């Protein structure tokens, strides 16, 4: 019989799905016969582009997360309304998901933040492993003064998560938990050499390549002509056009770029973008220079900022100046700064995969 795992992934952005993909790839490296059943509303195509192997996909709204007004700002009122509707988890829904997981023959449930997976695992009598650098109870507790729904959600989710068999916290962990297993940052390994990626992008040899990314979240770019003030750098901007095209110093890519995002990060001399877990993990893991945009009211942001400041060549772009692109000339300082080491760091996915297989009793 094929060994199976259920994997519940919070759909807040693509970062959690990227982390889950890295873990799944590490699991497959150890158990090639393993079948993974994904429960999430993160688009199936994202997993298909990352995993390139067969997996089960079950549309499931695991979390409310935070409703985003923009990529950098949250809509707390809308989030509070949705929390009222979604929590506590309806008993019938948990039982139906538990029946599905049981019918599939899953040996354990892995949850990237998604507490719903823990509730389902307990109902099904299965072990549950939570992989996180923050959990939603911690996030909501920070907003408890904004609306009673946040305090109620934080208390409820903390109780559910306490039922997990194992907590694995990835660097940088926002709320270190006694007894949790620590892991290095988790990131997906690149597939292609940097030179090959640069050739596909049409970036000439010797020209600096700057990757401008918002982590997969749509963003409107105005005044791209201002990027010409950054010297001879070529700017690669995913999600900036409907088709792959070159406009002066800008290479504009569609939302689904056709490029594996870790390949773009490795090919870049500098990454510019918002502070998000998957971007930080890739920048740190691949030793890239980083100009970051903090998210003013998101509790995770200061933790990520302290982490990148301590570990690499980086600079801050104030959020109120980011959209204008007037800061473009400032990146020259980073581009001419010390070259980071060439070696790549091991991903924490290896640590997580080994622990999951132990908990699921699937170690060969």
User: What confidence tens digit (pLDDT) does each residue in 303-333 have?
Assistant: 999 999 887 778 899 888 888 888 888 777 7
Q: What is the per-residue burial (b if ≥16 Cβ within 10 Å, else e) of 271-298?
A: bbbbbbbbbbbbbbbbbbbbbbbbbeeb
Residue 109: beta bridge partners?
Answer: 6, 128
294 and 270 in a single domain? The answer is: yes
pLDDT band (50, 70, 90) for residue 337: low
Q: Are 145 and 233 members of one domain?
A: no
60 and 180 assigned to the same domain? yes
Q: Domain count of the chain?
A: 2
Per-residue model confidence as pLDDT tens digits over 54-80: 999 999 999 999 998 777 788 999 999
Alpha helix locations (H) across 162-275? 194-201, 261-267
What count of other Cβ atoms lies within 10 Å of the Cβ of residue 80? 20
Distance CA 364, CA 353 (A): 13
Which two three-digit tokens encode residue 338?
């010390």
Whether 234 and 118 share a structural domain:
no
Please indicate, yes or no, if residue 120 is contained in any of the structural domains: yes
Residue with tokens 């982390």: 19
71, 120: one domain:
yes
Q: Do both 219 and 182 map to the same domain? A: no
Question: Do 309 and 353 have their domain in common?
Answer: no
∠ CA(322), CA(268), CA(133), 5° rounding? 70
Instruction: Flag whether 340 is in a domain.
Output: no
Looking at residue 10, its pLDDT comes to 96
More confident residue, 96 or 320: 96
Percent of the chain with pLDDT over 70: 95
- Overall average pLDDT of the 32-38 stretch: 96
Range of the domain at 249: 194-335
Q: Are residues 102 and 149 in the same domain?
A: yes
The answer to whether residues 94 and 12 belong to one domain is yes
Using DSSP bridges, classify how beta strands 250-253 and 128-132 pair: parallel, antiparallel or unpaired: unpaired
176 in the same domain as 210: no
């Amino acid at each position: 019989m094929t060994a199976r795992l259920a994997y519940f992934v919070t759909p807040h952005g693509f970062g959690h799905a990227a982390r889950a993909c890295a873990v799944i790839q590490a699991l497959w490296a150890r158990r090639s016969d393993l079948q993974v059943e994904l429960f999430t509303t993160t688009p199936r195509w994202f997993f298909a582009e990352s995993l390139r192997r067969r997996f089960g996909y079950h549309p499931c709204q695991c979390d409310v997360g935070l409703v985003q007004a923009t990529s950098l700002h949250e809509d707390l009122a809308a989030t509070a309304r949705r929390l009222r509707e979604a929590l506590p988890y309806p008993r019938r829904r948990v039982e139906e998901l538990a029946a599905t997981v049981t019918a599939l023959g899953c040996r354990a449930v892995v949850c990237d933040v998604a507490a719903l997976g823990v509730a389902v695992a307990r109902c099904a009598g299965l072990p549950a492993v939570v992989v996180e650098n923050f959990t939603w109870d911690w996030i909501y507790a920070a907003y408890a003064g904004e609306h009673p729904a946040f305090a109620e959600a934080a208390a409820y989710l903390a109780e559910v998560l306490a039922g997990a068999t194992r907590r694995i916290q990835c660097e940088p962990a926002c709320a270190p938990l006694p007894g949790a297993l620590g892991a290095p940052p988790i990131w997906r390994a690149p597939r292609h050499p940097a030179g090959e990626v640069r050739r596909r992008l049409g970036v000439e040899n010797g020209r600096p390549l700057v990757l401008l990314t918002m982590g997969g979240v749509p963003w409107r770019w105005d005044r791209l002509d201002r990027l010409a003030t950054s010297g001879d750098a070529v700017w690669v901007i995913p999600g900036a056009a409907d088709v792959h095209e070159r406009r002066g110093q800008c290479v504009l890519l569609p939302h689904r770029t056709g490029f594996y995002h870790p390949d773009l990060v490795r090919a870049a001399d500098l990454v510019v973008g918002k502070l998000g877990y998957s971007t930080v993990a890739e920048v740190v893991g691949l030793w890239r220079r980083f100009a970051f945009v903090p998210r003013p009211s998101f509790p995770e942001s200061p933790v990520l900022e302290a982490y990148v400041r301590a570990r690499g060549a980086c600079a801050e772009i104030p959020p109120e100046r980011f959209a204008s692109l007037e800061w473009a000339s400032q990146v020259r300082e980073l581009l001419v700064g010390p070259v980071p080491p060439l070696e790549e760091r091991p991903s924490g996915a290896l640590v997580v995969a080994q622990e999951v297989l132990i908990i699921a009793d699937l170690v060969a």
